[in-house]
Structure 1
Amino acid sequence: MNRRVMAVTAAAVMSMSGFAVPAMADEEEAVSIQISASIMSMDPLIGGDSTNVAVISNTMEGLFVVDADGQIQNGLCDSYEVSDDQKTYTFHIRDNAKWSDGTPVTAQDFEYAWKRNATAQGDYSKFTYQIEMAAIKNYEAVTSGEADADELGVTAVDDNTLQVELEYPVPFFLNLLTFSPWAPVKESKLTEEGDQFGVDKDSVLYCGAYTLDQWDVGGNTIVLKKNPDYWDAENVDVDEIDLVVISDTQQAVMAYQNGDVDNVTLTGDMVSMYQDDPEFSNVLGSFNYYLMVNTTKDGYDNKDLRQAIAYAIDRESLCTNVLNDGSTPAYNMVMKGLVSNSDGEDFVDASGQYFQYDTEKAKELWAKAQEETDLREINIIYDEEKDFAANTAAFIQSQLESTLDGLTVNISSTPKKNRIQLAQDHDYDIELWAWGPDYADPTAILAMFESDHPSNYSLWSSDEFDKLYNEANTTLAGDETARWDNLIKCNDICTENAGCIPLFQTGSATLTKSNVTGITEHNTGVPCYYKFVEKD
């Protein structure tokens, strides 16, 4: 393998597609990846979308990582032991794990970070549910504020030993730990930065395969540089990873053809145009898209209305004629390929299939809804950065207005950051929304619909759902069959109520230069660990 190539230019240039190509020093090898939007924060408790998660996880490595084949590998964890009852884990931190300020990464850094998450409030609490999913001892009392953080079952025995006690066995525990909220945080750095922690590249410390070299809020390029002090630096092939914001697919393809980027994501007509290209690939993606409905608003709280909308959308046509990127129709909340039972049955296939396209059923429900509510005009918002989102919203608008006589559908775009804030403030009607799983279990999606979950932006609630879900993760945690059955029921209840209407599971259609390997789109957690990317 040729590990080095000469940089083409010594300074940044402007491509025809209108974005800046980062400057590279001579003899450096770089891989450029197109992304649709930039990151929001470098705080592991704030940055939650896939790009943000990837940048944080590649610069602030946790105990475990996921390789290019989807297998869990040790990260800053040198070794670990598990008790016979599967409820106590003892992790040993690598002696040569270092922060970017030269100090060692310690077990205390993990203990502090995890307890910080368990007691987080407001905007910082979006990942607190991960502590619950891990079932760390005393999680309920600590996350609810009834007990101090010191009561959480996470203890730094010494500088290199972290002990974690669980309430009950969690089969996906190590998979959870590959995700960005489990990254270590140095307490003294956070204290020094205060509320500025994570707002720019200099306000955090790094301990991953890369450090953040360039990132400006609102900028269009994120540059990651190989970390010379990383414990496994000799096995990191690429010196620089450039994440380049190009939201328009045609401009992204132009950049690819010009040699400005090595990997682009395709949508719409670009997929059929390049599907025979030897550098084209198309795999099932890791996200489901939904119509997230604010079920507390007048009219939108009407189940017949929500179900009428759900039945009036032809998902097959949406995927084939609009998206055309390998996306597939979704008829329940969880994505296919996430998890199967011991018999090999996929969770999605075992669940009910709801809202197959049925205009007569849609009209029947709409007629009922018109008797029950005065709502005749609905509003849908979507991300302005994603061209496929605009096409999807327009398709849904056409479908609903042509099927549900008398319904007016308004669609509008807004920056992704604003859309997310509107959801968190519950100040919206309907949003085009995507969920991706953090770990390989149905609860990675279903958790979002617990009545008191901080990410339950639809505010839909069901006592029956909550009861079944709680049983699945407590009393039935060690009974695979009973737990599976309860979660199937949860999936069915949530889908049928249409508080969040499933639309499609993404396809991942890409072009990648033939001399680049290892760029992945993992179906859970961190989409790609760049330490496994190679360039010939």
Structure 2
Amino acid sequence: MRKASLLLPILLLFLCFCSQPQQELNEVKVRFPLEPETISPVNYADAESLQIINLLFQSLLVVDLEEDKLKPALVTAMPEMVRQDSLTLFTYEIRDEAAWSDGSPVTADDIAFTLKVLKAPLVNNERVKPQVEFIRDIRLDKTNPRKFTFVCDGYAPEMELLTGDFFILPSYLFDPQGLLKSIQVAELSDDLSELENNENLKAFAQEFNAINFKSGKAFLQGSGGYLLDAYLPNQHIVLKRKQNWWGNNLDQAHLTAHPDVISFHVIPDNTTALLALKNKQLDVLDNISAAEFDHLKSDKNFKNDFTLHTPDAYECTYAGINSRLPKFSDKRTRQAIAHLLDVSGMIKASQQNYATPTASIIPPSINEYYNTNLKPRSYNLSEAKALLNAAGWKQEQDGWYKTINGKRTKLTIDVIYRAGNSNFENAALIFQQTASKAGIPVTVQAMEANLLSQKSKAHEFDMFFRSLSGNPFVFNFQGLLSTSAGELGGPNYTGFGNEQSDKLLDAINTADTPEKKAQRLKQLQTMLHDDAAFIPLYYQKERIAINKRFDNAKISGLSPNYDVSAFTLKN
């Protein structure tokens, strides 16, 4: 009976998946391990959301995954840059062909409108807002409605990317009443207290924040090559190609919309997803377990139909400790916990040869910025106990105790992680075993993505395992590690940071040479390592299978590691 009860959820999921409509000839079916939190182009949080938004909306610049290079998307060329004292000007011109879903042209007014949405108070834009804070103003060209200039504070090498790396919104669709028209971008770069009482802004924020981006087809119409066709919660999301997309007429290999249909199927269970792949009910599957991937590599029948890829990913698995809690407030306690994280055991259990231990939030493969003076903490039971003693904990027969704020407190740890992710599950269970050897009781709990996000944002956790995706172009950690991001609802879940680290984060973003940036990034890595609240564990190689009926996958180390819009059917 036990085996039957374990298999029942898998069987139900598989039957549900099999009930989907038959695959169209030029349809690509992709597996999602979980449902996107949102499809908001100004407040997305996870990789699944970003992959969909990238197909619906566009930014000024885009990374060509085939070459891992930054290229023009909505604009004709990379920006012209001019430095003027404490300001830097970036001038762009939008392509003549660029158009919205209704056929109207993308103009500089849309760029200005998007900046207002991203910078405005009261609007749900917390995740993207820090990315554009350095843009103080926009100057529109009076003679050319497609030309504009960003006025930016200071200078940093990655500003070229950041000025072009946010999704552009159609003002006609999101602000038909012109509520933001009278507000200038420059007004949103200074004290915002007065604007919070602006009636037009309040009205716009109320309307924008009320949009349900998962069901609001009317608002998911950008300049990209696809439109949302269907969204069935926790089951599938279907996108259909625009018949007359403006990019079809361009000879630009990095601007594509080839498949007629792209469907994303939510299959939390890895075993079910792999079975669907083998049965050719999926065309693309990533995050395949290392053991299964090795098995597939030796399966001749499978390799007749699928190609396997292992790009070096920019995805870091890390542990987060809630340093706000009194029992974890002493960094020596957190350092002790870090020495109980058996990273080599975690890699062996879930990654085998497909991961690299790291001591830093920077990938070890980026030699110029990775701090080689830091070594990944290894599992060390005696060192962990010594640090606990130094932090004031005393080991008794049934555990570790310390008087905190006049109350005798036992050291226990509750670990949470996203349900359905075997990497996090293995890490949590291995930590539970190693911590028990130190006399620390650990409970582990898998949670659905939405609940995990709620707990993290509300600071209602002891410790978690999560992953962080990055890229080799920009190292702006303010939105993740600043103290302002540590407020309730912000993404700095662990509570890392102080005035000194905030200044360092600012200094990293204003470094005007790669050498200065490298020096400051290495200082930040040292600070993070010593603080031991945000603990990087390893960077992994991605493991992907793609149906051989498709060409032009553009495999890359950058998430999502392939460009599904570029897939072409083989003859």
Deviation at 1:357, TM superposition (A): 2.5
In the aligned structure 2, how far is the partner of 1:156 from the partner of 1:98?
19
CA contact (8 A) 1:385 1:416 kept: no
**1:392 equivalent in alignment to 2:389:** no
Cα distance change of structure 1 residues 429 and 201 upon mapping to structure 2, 3 Å threshold: same
Deviation at 1:507, TM superposition (A): 2.5
**1:159 equivalent in alignment to 2:124:** no
Aligned residue number for residue 119 of structure 1: 120
Cα distance change of structure 1 residues 282 and 383 upon mapping to structure 2, 3 Å threshold: same
Q: How does 1:301-380 map to 2 (within 5 A)?
A: 301-324=329-352, 326-337=354-365, 339=366, 345-350=367-372, 352-369=374-391, 370-371=393-394, 374-380=409-415
Deviation at 1:521, TM superposition (A): 6.5
**1:196 equivalent in alignment to 2:211:** yes
**1:104 equivalent in alignment to 2:90:** no
Q: How does 1:54-133 map to 2 (within 5 A)?
A: 54-69=51-66, 70-85=68-83, 87-121=88-122, 123-132=124-133
Cα distance change of structure 1 residues 56 and 426 upon mapping to structure 2, 3 Å threshold: same
In the aligned structure 2, how far is the partner of 1:25 from the partner of 1:347?
45
Structure 1 segments unaligned to the other structure (5+ residues): 1-13, 138-151, 340-344
Deviation at 1:441, TM superposition (A): 2.9
CA contact (8 A) 2:369 2:521 kept: no
Give the TM-score, by structure 1 length.
0.84
Aligned residue number for residue 226 of structure 2: 210
In the aligned structure 2, how far is the partner of 1:24 from the partner of 1:177?
42
**1:489 equivalent in alignment to 2:523:** yes
Cα distance change of structure 1 residues 482 and 287 upon mapping to structure 2, 3 Å threshold: same
Deviation at 1:470, TM superposition (A): 2.2
In the aligned structure 1, how far is the partner of 2:212 from the partner of 2:171?
11
Aligned residue number for residue 299 of structure 1: 327
Q: Per the alignment, in what secondary structure is the counterpart of residue 364 of structure 1?
A: helix
Aligned residue number for residue 465 of structure 1: 501
Deviation at 1:260, TM superposition (A): 0.7
In the aligned structure 2, how far is the partner of 1:351 from the partner of 1:101?
55
In the aligned structure 1, how far is the partner of 2:364 from the partner of 2:555?
15
Match of 1:286 among 314, 324, 337: 314
CA contact (8 A) 2:332 2:387 kept: yes
52-61 vs 267-276, which moves further: 267-276
CA contact (8 A) 1:100 1:206 kept: yes
In the aligned structure 2, how far is the partner of 1:110 from the partner of 1:224?
25
Aligned residue number for residue 259 of structure 1: 280
In the aligned structure 1, how far is the partner of 2:363 from the partner of 2:345?
19
**1:233 equivalent in alignment to 2:232:** no
Cα distance change of structure 1 residues 89 and 256 upon mapping to structure 2, 3 Å threshold: same
Cα distance change of structure 1 residues 41 and 252 upon mapping to structure 2, 3 Å threshold: same
Aligned residue identity for 1:159: P
Deviation at 1:517, TM superposition (A): 3.7
Give the TM-score, by structure 2 length.
0.79
Aligned residue identity for 1:400: A
259-268 vs 462-471, which moves further: 462-471
Cα distance change of structure 1 residues 351 and 417 upon mapping to structure 2, 3 Å threshold: farther
Match of 1:411 among 437, 444, 452: 444
Deviation at 1:408, TM superposition (A): 0.8
Match of 1:530 among 564, 567, 570: 564
Cα distance change of structure 1 residues 436 and 15 upon mapping to structure 2, 3 Å threshold: closer
What's the CA shift string for 1:131-173, capped at 9, x where partnerless?
A: 13xx323xxxxxxxxxxxxxx3464755312211222233223
Cα distance change of structure 1 residues 521 and 306 upon mapping to structure 2, 3 Å threshold: farther
In the aligned structure 2, how far is the partner of 1:525 from the partner of 1:260?
23
In the aligned structure 2, how far is the partner of 1:430 from the partner of 1:529?
34
Aligned residue number for residue 492 of structure 2: 456
Cα distance change of structure 1 residues 518 and 346 upon mapping to structure 2, 3 Å threshold: farther
In the aligned structure 2, how far is the partner of 1:170 from the partner of 1:331?
25
Count matched residues.
492
CA-atom RMSD in angstroms: 2.7
CA contact (8 A) 1:50 1:526 kept: yes
Structure 2 segments unaligned to the other structure (5+ residues): 1-11, 177-206, 250-255, 395-401
Query: If you compute each CA radius of gyration, which structure gives the higher value, 1 or 2?
Result: 2
In the aligned structure 2, how far is the partner of 1:118 from the partner of 1:531?
30
Deviation at 1:292, TM superposition (A): 1.3
